[in-house]
Amino acid sequence: MKARLTIEVNQKRHTVEVDPATPLLYVLRNNLQLNGPKYGCGLEQCGACMVLLDGKATPSCLLPVETSIGKAIVTLEGLTQPGGKLHPVQRAFVEQQAAQCGYCLNGMVISAVSLLTEQKHPDETAIRKGMERVLCRCGTQSRILRAIRQAANESNP
């Protein structure tokens, strides 16, 4: 049964009429028309659907939307400043050209932001550990690692 729910996404409150069991991913993509979170596996195995939930990278493909009520949801769109200025992690991905097809990029950027919020200067092992949940098939991980090192240096000199 559908219900009216209010969730906070990218610092704005949105009221949607959906089945409360609907995974957050479909609400973000279809009701809110956001492109950042992607469907990859629907099993929390690949990380393509990552969002920040109260600042922490969380897969959204199985998470019932009702459990995200009252939490701050941030998607890839929400990282860009209102004037269009990119977040340092987004900028580092562009500068390092850290993508091929780019389908995994949402999960990569969101996970990197989450990691750099928790640890200002993660070492190589910590970066890899922080990114372990997100799969890339094009093999751009070596570029993604460079982008995260760059973002860490620039955000926390």
35 scored as a contact of another protein (CB under 8 A): yes
Q: How many helices (H) and strands (E) does the chain have?
A: 6, 5
Q: Alpha-carbon distance 149 to 76, whole Å?
A: 19
Q: Which residues inside 41-70 make contact with another protein, applying CB under 8 A?
A: 41-43, 45-46, 48
Least distance in angstroms from the C-beta of 35 to another protein: 5
Of 22-30, 51-59, 112-120, 149-157, the window that binds another protein (rule: CB under 8 A) is 22-30
Residue 57 near residue 79 (C-beta atoms within 8 A): no
For 3-58, the DSSP string reads: EEEEEEETTEEEEEEE-TTSBHHHIIIIIS---SS--S-SSSSS-TTEEEETTEEE
Mark 84-123 with x for binding to another protein (rule: CB under 8 A) and - for no binding: --x---x--xx--xxxxxxxxxx--x--------------
Residues in the chain: 157
Residue 9 one-letter amino acid: V
Least distance in angstroms from the C-beta of 137 to another protein: 5
Least distance in angstroms from the C-beta of 45 to another protein: 4
Q: Residues interacting with another protein, by CB under 8 A? A: 18-19, 21-23, 26, 29-30, 33-36, 38-43, 45-46, 48, 75-77, 80, 86, 90, 93-94, 97-106, 109, 127-129, 131-132, 134-143, 145
